[in-house]
Amino acid sequence: MHQPFLQDISANSLSDLQTGSRRCFFFLICFFLAAAGLHAQQPQLGMVQSRVSDNPVVAGEGITRHLILGDNLMTQGKFENAILSYDNAVAQNPYFAEAYIKRAIAKYRLGRIAEAQQDYAFATRINPYVGDMYGYGNNLRKLKVLAFEPYQLAGRLSLDRRMEYYRELLGSFSGEEPQMDVPARLGMLTALIDQFPASFSYYLQRSVAYLEMGEHRRAADDLNAVLAAEPDNALAHDLLGLSYLEAESPESAERAFERAIELDPTLAVAAYNLGVVRQQQLRYQEALRLFGQAIELDGGLEMAYFNRALVHKAMGNVDAALEDYSYLLRQEGRAEAKVWLNRGITRKMSGDIMGALADIEQAIRLAPEDNAVLYKIRGNVFLLLGNYLAAEQDYTRSIDLDPAFAEAYYNRGVARILAYNRPDACLDFRESAQLGYERGEEQLQYLCSY
If one compares 60 and 358, the residue with the highest pLDDT of the two is: 358
Cβ burial 300-332 (10 Å sphere, 16+ → b, else e): ebbbbbbbbbbbbbeeebbebbbebbeebeeee
Position 28 scores a pLDDT of 42
Q: In angstroms, rounded to a whole number, what is the distance separating the alpha carbons of residues 434 and 404?
A: 10
Highest mean pLDDT (candidates 37-46, 91-100, 151-160): 91-100
Q: In angstroms, rounded to a whole number, what is the distance separating the alpha carbons of residues 14 and 39?
A: 37
Domain 158-264 has CATH 3.60.20.30: no
Topology agreement, domain 56-137 and domain 341-450:
yes
Position 17 scores a pLDDT of 40
Q: In angstroms, rounded to a whole number, what is the distance separating the alpha carbons of residues 331 and 352?
A: 23
* Residue 262 contacts residue 270 (beta carbons within 8 Å): no
Q: In angstroms, rounded to a whole number, what is the distance separating the alpha carbons of residues 123 and 4?
A: 68
**19-27: Cβ within 8 A, 24+ apart:** none
Q: In angstroms, rounded to a whole number, what is the distance separating the alpha carbons of residues 96 and 89?
A: 8
Position 369 scores a pLDDT of 86
Query: What's the pTM?
Result: 0.65
Q: In angstroms, rounded to a whole number, what is the distance separating the alpha carbons of residues 336 and 347?
A: 17
Q: In angstroms, rounded to a whole number, what is the distance separating the alpha carbons of residues 68 and 293?
A: 56
Q: pLDDT tens digits, residue range 329-388?
A: 888 666 678 889 889 988 888 889 899 999 999 999 988 888 898 999 999 999 988 899
Confidence class for position 144, pLDDT limits 50, 70, 90: confident
Q: pLDDT tens digits, residue range 393-433?
A: 999 999 999 999 999 999 999 999 889 898 899 999 999 99
- Of 39-48, 70-79, 212-221, 345-354, which range is least confident? 39-48
Q: For the chain, give every domain's residue range.
A: 56-137, 158-264, 341-450
Position 4 scores a pLDDT of 42
* Residue 398 contacts residue 373 (beta carbons within 8 Å): yes
Provide the angle, in degrees to the nearest 10, between the axes of the packed helices 200-212 and 234-246.
20
Check whether 65 has a pLDDT greater than 90: no
Check whether 171 has a pLDDT greater than 60: yes
**CA angle (83, 84, 86) in 5-degree steps:** 60
The superfamily CATH assigns to domain 56-137 is Tetratricopeptide repeat domain (1.25.40.10)
* Residue 107 contacts residue 87 (beta carbons within 8 Å): no
- Of 49-53, 93-97, 402-406, which range is least confident? 49-53
CATH topology assigned to domain 341-450? 1.25.40
* Residue 238 contacts residue 169 (beta carbons within 8 Å): no
